[in-house]
Amino acid sequence: METNFTMKDIVNLSQARWFVYAWSEIYGWLANSWDYGPYGSLMKENIKNLWIKEFVQKKDDMMLLDSSILLNPKVWVASWHVWGFSDPLIDDKNTKERFRADKLLEALIEEMWSNAKSLESKYWVNNLIPESWPMEKQAEVMRWEKVKNPNNWQVWDWTDVKKFNLMFKTFQWVTDDSSATVYMRPETAQGIFVDFPNVLRTSRRKIPFWVAQVGKAFRNEITPGNFIFRTREFEQMEIEYFCEPGTDLEVHARWKEDCKNFLLNTLWLHEENIRLRDHDPDELSHYSNATTDIEYKFPFGWWELWWIADRTDFDLKAHMTESKADMSYFDPVNNRKFIPYVIEPSVWLNRLFLTALCDAYTVDGEWEEQRTYLKLDPKVAPIKVWVLPVVKKLADIAKPIYKQLAEDFVCEYDDVWSVGKRYARFDEIWTPFCVTIDSENYDAWKVTVRYRDSMEQELVEISELNEFLRTKLK
């Protein structure tokens, strides 16, 4: 599928059609903060529920957890977040603006295209992944390659690259001194690791087993952007798969396919817009044996959507050292204890939401008769059925049909404007079916069902309407 639209088109549709609003807009907005409107909230919940159904409900060795947003500060000491969870930042000395150095260098490499390979020998780096370069090397390349400030396209004097911790600090109790410092979690994973002994004791599960979690996380991103792609507040869907050491790489490979299959066969995304990228050895995090990014082709380029990491036993060992609690597992079959390895598939719900919008955005027809609509699997649609009386005076017979459908589906009722204008509006927010009521067919105990994608229409008995739509929605 060719991308023939821009992020501006996605933002305009989102704000015009009740998907996403700018947060606290009446006070001038708070940069990079967004609210999900009536349709956006429903759609986001649909995606979340599909993820839970696929990875929790259908798995007999999976459990769901909901840990606290505020954890004991020692959790983040043990996990290295206090001193290691940071971005490489660089300042423009002239404008005093701050940027992520690795992202500016990524833009440089993309701009250089085939000539970018020369940077490896010129600066003695092993790859073209700036995030893995030492900070002094990032600054060196920035200066010698005369990287421009993206806001004014001027080449200025860059500072050294410094680390900027991404965690949000807050305070508990009634004081704001260092003894009261706590952090808003930057990921949901650590709550699962800390609860591992509780899960093991209460569930009596045998390795391998999974623990899933959906919840809010917070990162003090210095360069958020691209609408809801990178935000400081986001919702994360993570799984920690606890397995025996030595089986981890095989499990990691299996999870790569499972996550890709969810995108293709549950959300029905276009396969040509998805690719898997394995991290190079010198790009891997300090705890990782293997990491793979599932990337999506957004209007602003290929970016990571879902990452699957082999975290080895780093986290459990780190918390065992810091807390002195036993994080080991006893294998009753082989009569031995070991620290499990962990495979972590992690995806941000807001990125899946944006991906669904981009993948579904469709423009058909010639310039004068263009039809813009969202086209995706009905399971993701915020509104499943729209009930439309042909004219307003038919409300008395249309409202009971709406109530009948609302028992089984998320529906809306509309009797304003012409039927044609209402159809166009419902297409745009990807409502799969419209049920149109007119007096002639109603007298025969029938209504008209219109299909969004084909625009074909079919007469259906009112008494069979719910079952008819239920079958179609599957």
Contact yes or no for 226/300 (Cβ under 8 A): yes
All residues at 6 or more sequence positions from 10 whose CB lies less than 8 Å from its CB, including other chains: 227, 299, 354, 357, 358, 361
What CATH number belongs to 86-165? 3.30.40.230
Measure Cα distances from 82 to 89, 231, 311, 337, 344 in Å: 17, 20, 18, 30, 21
CATH fit for domain 383-473, picks 2.40.50.40, 3.40.50.800, 3.40.710.10, 3.10.440.10: 3.40.50.800
CATH architecture for residues 7-78+167-359:
2-Layer Sandwich (3.30)
Measure Cα distances from 397 to 123, 230, 367, 418 in Å: 75, 47, 39, 18
Residue type, 426: F
All residues at 6 or more sequence positions from 268 whose CB lies less than 8 Å from its CB, including other chains: 376, 377
Backbone angles phi, psi at 349, to 5 degrees: -60, -40
DSSP 130: G
Domains 7-78+167-359 and 86-165 share a fold: no
CA 271, chain centre distance (Å): 17
Q: What are the boundaries of each domain within the chain? A: 7-78+167-359, 86-165, 383-473
- Give the tokens for residue 260: 């890709």
Whole-model pTM? Answer: 0.87
Contact yes or no for 471/432 (Cβ under 8 A): no
Contact yes or no for 165/88 (Cβ under 8 A): no
H or E element at residue 104: helix 101-112
Which pLDDT tens digits describe the chain residue by residue (474 residues)? 455 789 999 999 898 888 998 888 888 877 778 999 999 999 999 999 999 999 999 998 899 999 999 999 999 999 988 877 788 899 999 888 888 899 899 989 988 988 999 999 999 998 888 988 999 999 999 999 999 888 888 876 899 999 888 899 888 876 666 667 899 999 999 999 999 999 999 988 899 999 999 999 999 887 777 899 999 999 999 999 999 999 999 999 999 999 999 999 999 999 999 999 999 888 888 889 999 999 999 999 999 999 999 999 999 999 999 999 999 999 998 999 999 999 999 999 999 999 999 999 988 776 666 777 888 888 999 999 999 999 999 999 999 999 999 999 999 999 988 888 888 888 888 899 999 999 999 999 999 999 987 889 999 999 999 999 999 988
CA 76, chain centre distance (Å): 23
How would you class 124 by CB atoms within 10 Å of its CB: exposed for 0-12, middle for 13-18, buried for 19 or more? exposed
How would you class 4 by CB atoms within 10 Å of its CB: exposed for 0-12, middle for 13-18, buried for 19 or more? exposed
